[in-house]
Amino acid sequence: MNEYNYTKPQLTALLLLRFFTGWHILYEGIAKAMNPQWTSFGFLQESQWVLAGFSGWVTSNPSVLAVVDFMNVWGLIAIGLGLIVGLFFKVAAVAGFILVLMYWMNSPALVGVEYSMPVEGHNLIVNKTLIQAGALLTLALFSTSKIFGLDALIGNFKRKGEVAE
């Protein structure tokens, strides 16, 4: 038993989920950062459903698009790093949940919504993006970073400070 009262298998499973999700998000960010041609333009242009208007506004404003691209790339990298090393873990997981949910809301696999870009696999409403959003929400609620993460050190320093007062 540990401070979260997880059993060992539970803790292991949560850690695996955390590393897998963090790894994937980190590489999504780094791959974009390493490709000078990358822009969210193509993705946002395909946007359908409730965020289509917002995405249209972004793609029609080159300066806004540049900001969105920058925040997306470095946001992904920061979230991925936060998840893997367990630093500001809850913030990272919640931010990741919101970001990934926004990806899904831009291109949900709804009936009757079609895309010109090829989609991986066969999806009906639920696709891998939505599942990843679910994973991030779960991770945010079942934190492991105060045992296996730099948050443990931060928490410790904080407590040290409190004690000294």
Partner 1 sequence: MSDINENKQGTPEKENNNPQNRPGENKSGMSRRKMVKALAGLPVLGLFGHQLLKKRDYDLGKREAIMRELRLDEIKFPASDYGSGNNPGGDLLRVGIIGYGVRGNQLANSLGFMHPNDVKTRQERGTLDEWLGQEYLNVALTGISDVFDLHTENGMAVARNEIRPGGENAPKLPVKRYRHYHEMLEDPDIDAVIIATPDHHHGQMTIDAANAGKHIYCEKSVANTEEEVNALYSAVKSSGVVYQLGHQITQNVIYQQARELINRDMLGKVTLVQTASNRNTAHGAWVRHMNSNGNPKPGCANTIDWKQWLGPAPEVPFSQYRYYNWTLFFDYATGLIGQLFTHEYDAMNQILNLGIPKTVTSSGGIYFWKDGRDMADMLHIVFEYPNRELTLLYSGNLSSSRPRGRVIMGHDGSMEIGNTITINADRNSTKYQQAISAGIIDPRSPMVSFNPSSGQVDAVTSASERYYAERGLTTTTINGRRVDVNHLHLREWIKCIRDGGRPSVNIDVAFDEGMACVMAQKAYVEKRVVTWDEVNRKIV
Q: How many residues bind partner 1 (CB under 8 A)?
A: 47
Smallest distance, partner 1 to C-beta of residue 98, A: 21
Q: How far apart are CA 132 and CA 114, in angstroms?
A: 21
Largest CA distance in the chain: 62
Smallest distance, partner 1 to C-beta of residue 62, A: 7
Stretch touching partner 1 by CB under 8 A, among 48-56, 93-101, 106-114, 156-164 = 156-164
Q: Are 140 and 79 in contact (CB under 8 A)?
A: no
143 sits near partner 1 (criterion: CB under 8 A): yes
Smallest distance, partner 1 to C-beta of residue 76, A: 14
Stretch touching partner 1 by CB under 8 A, among 35-43, 46-54, 97-105, 122-130 = 35-43
Give Cβ neighbours of residue 89 (< 8 Å, ≥ 6 apart).
82, 83, 139, 143, 144, 145, 149, 151
Give Cβ neighbours of residue 69 (< 8 Å, ≥ 6 apart).
38, 39, 40
53 sits near partner 1 (criterion: CB under 8 A): no
Judged by beta carbon, residue 124 or residue 165, the one nearer partner 1 is 165
Q: Are 85 and 154 in contact (CB under 8 A)?
A: no
User: Among residue numbers 5 through 24, which ones bind partner 1 (CB under 8 A)?
Assistant: 5-7, 10, 15, 19, 22-23
Q: Hey, which residues does 125 pair with through a beta bridge?
A: 109
Judged by beta carbon, residue 56 or residue 126, the one nearer partner 1 is 56
Concatenating the DSSP letter of every residue in 104-130 gives HHHS-B-TT---SS--SS--BBB-HHH
Residues of this chain that interact with partner 1 (CB under 8 A) are 3-7, 10, 15, 19, 22-23, 26-27, 30, 34-39, 42, 60-64, 81, 84-86, 117, 141-143, 146-153, 155-157, 159-160, 163
